[in-house]
Amino acid sequence: MKDAQSIKAKPKNAVKRPVNTKDLAIAGMFAAVLAVISQISIPMPTGVPITIQIFGVALVGVILGWRLGVLATVVYIVLGAVGLPIFANFRGGIQMIFGLTGGYIWAWPIMIFFCGLKPKTPIKALNTLLLFLLPVLGTIINELIGGLQWAALSGDMSVYGVFTYSMVAFVPKDVLLTVMAVILGLPIRKVIQKQL
């Protein structure tokens, strides 16, 4: 009987602690990092600049892990949604969430979840592979959600048209930026975890 009670008690002990002031401070700092990275863009001959927001989102997830990473991203999205000009090109407001490209923004916490997972399989090589594959999967999910909202709100493009355009214009660049974020973020995560 005691054994059964102790087994039932284990999951309660395994529950993560609630969010505290330190977590909120870290989330706020990394929301600010996202705000800065979101303003970096590369001018293109087409007139549509390439932003590296996806790099910032992936970096935050890799460094903080999924729990604090999602919190930081939600803080960033809420601040942008209430009107602070912290989205790309110094834009803000709720219309950014419900506009053509809003799906890419509100899907970031889902992407962060995958970027922040730390694989714990018995095979070290598989863990290393998953550290790259899971963030790439998160990026692809982000592209799917963003593309679906774009197609739904765009009167002149079909779902097929949006995804074809995304596969050429965004996905290769975003996957590359995500991989770069993993490479840069992993050593930073080790340093930060020692400090925390």
Instruction: Give the start-to-end residue ranges of the domains of the chain.
Output: 16-195
Tens of pLDDT, residues 13-54 = 445 667 788 888 989 999 999 999 989 877 666 555 677 899
Split at pLDDT 50, 70, 90, the class of 4 is very low
pLDDT at 80 over 70: yes
- Which pLDDT score is estimated for 1? 43
pTM over 0.75: yes
pLDDT-wise least confident of 2-16, 76-90, 94-108: 2-16
The angle formed by the CA atoms of residues 114, 76 and 162, to the nearest 5 degrees, is 60
CATH architecture label of 16-195 = Orthogonal Bundle (1.10)
188 Cβ neighbours under 8 A, 6+ residues apart: 62, 63
CB neighbours of residue 13 within 10 Å: 7
